[in-house]
Amino acid sequence: MEGVYKKLTGPMLSDAKFFCEIIDCSLPGLEMLQDAVKGQDYALCRKLFASCVRKDLEDKEDLFFSIPYDFPPNEFVLPGERVEDAVDRIKKNRFVSVGIPYQFEDMVDWFFDPTNNHLQEWTWQFNRHHEWKLLANHYRETGDETSVEKIVNLFESWVKQAIVPGDNVQGNETICWRTIECGTRMGGDWPYVLFCIYKSVYFTDDILVDWYKSVWEHGHRLHINHRSGNWLIIEMNG
């Protein structure tokens, strides 16, 4: 399955399907999309959709940030590590998962498992994206645009590599798309990141649309491939 992932580039939703079938242009605020959709002007669709989304996020920002920020769990940072140190480390592609650090030399490989036992827990939990949330909160507190630049870089590498699996792939299968990771990403890390960075110059209209395409792919997978027990609780959070 990894070979299939690496031959394709995500998100899998085309502009035509996303704007013509997924997005309901009759909803308040989205009516301006209707003519662009009918004319199949998807560049304009992206611009108008992004404008609508940013306004909606701005209207809800104060309410969203009434939820306290949670620092990533200990297994995703080094012992005694300060926020500034963690930010610098992540920008240099040095990551910590299940307490084990690993340095990627160039591009991050979201399928890679650096552990000796090859049980994949390092990789599964790395795909929860706690680092993105840490960078986003740092940006919110300091205005450091390079933190957003890194988030966008990580998002683009992830969404291109991690192709959403087909409906027949069970929720506990795959490396990047287990439904427990889907629930974790959608239930906490991705929403927080979005509200922090949606105004940044690095979070362009094209990135925003790809982000929302991936959100829909997450929701579809959680709906079709959910499991039970504690997994279901986390899935429902997402």
Of the pLDDT bands very low, low, confident and very high (cuts 50, 70, 90), residue 237 is confident
Domains along the chain with CATH numbers:
2-237 (1.50.10.100)
Whether 218 contacts 189, CB under 8 Å: no
Of the pLDDT bands very low, low, confident and very high (cuts 50, 70, 90), residue 238 is confident
Residue 95: is its pLDDT beyond 80?
yes
pLDDT one-digit tens code per residue, 45-73: 999 999 999 999 999 999 999 999 988 88
pLDDT one-digit tens code per residue, 97-143: 999 999 999 899 999 999 988 779 999 999 999 999 999 999 999 99
